[in-house]
Amino acid sequence: MAVERTLSIIKPDAVEQNNIGNILAMIQGAGLEILGMRMLHLSRAQAEGFYEVHKDRPFFGELVEFMTRGPVVVSALQADDAVVRYRTLMGSTNPAEAADATIRKAYGTDIGENACHGSDSVENGRIEVAYFFPEYVLK
Ligand code: CMP
């Protein structure tokens, strides 16, 4: 097992529904250490830049609109196998398909408003942590 870092975003739907504390408790309960954390309201340019990999997808406009609707909480997480550990904790992208005891099962609404984001690979974790927390990129 290797120590990894991954980026978490608690999305606007979960912030609006006062689920920040509940989600952070699940993150810490799963053994993920929160290295750094910030609440911010993403600008359109920040959201478009973060999700640039999806820019040609039909849902891109809707995704950017949603992610800029209100504040989010971004955090840099660290653990052994942090990427898979956090993705397992989040559950399937579509909350209707998410397993019990996952964040999206508990707090997601639909495939667009799914409560949280986590990096999908170690390499993307590096890129995404750097996007918000350059000081926490694993050397
Ligand atoms: P996330 O893990 O943040 O990565 C990209 C996001 O795009 C994803 O979670 C979903 O919230 C969103 N997404 C994926 N597929 C769709 C879809 N078909 N319609 C709307 N949003 C989607």
pLDDT digits (tens, 9 = 90+) for 89-133: 999 999 999 999 999 999 999 999 999 999 999 999 999 999 999
**Which residue ranges form the domains of the chain, and what is each CATH number?**
3-40+73-136 (3.30.70.141)
Catalytic-labelled residue, pool 26, 108, 117, 129: 117
DSSP 8-state assignment for residue 109? -
Q: Answer whether residue 41 shows pLDDT above 90.
A: yes
Q: Can 54 be counted among the known catalytic residues?
A: no
Atom of ligand 1 nearest to the CA of 118: 2
4-41 as b/e, with b when 16 or more CB fall inside 10 Å?
Answer: bbbbbbbbbbbbeeebbebbbebbeebebeeeebeeee
What confidence category does residue 8 fall into, taking pLDDT thresholds of 50, 70 and 90?
A: very high
Residue in 93, 94, 103, 131 to alter for ligand 1 test, most ligand atoms within 8 A of Cβ: 93
Evaluate if pTM is beyond 0.95.
yes
What angle in degrees, to the nearest 10, is found between the helix axes of 82-90 and 20-29?
130
Tell me the CA–centroid distance for residue 5 and ligand 1, in Å. 22
pLDDT above 70 coverage of the chain, percent: 100
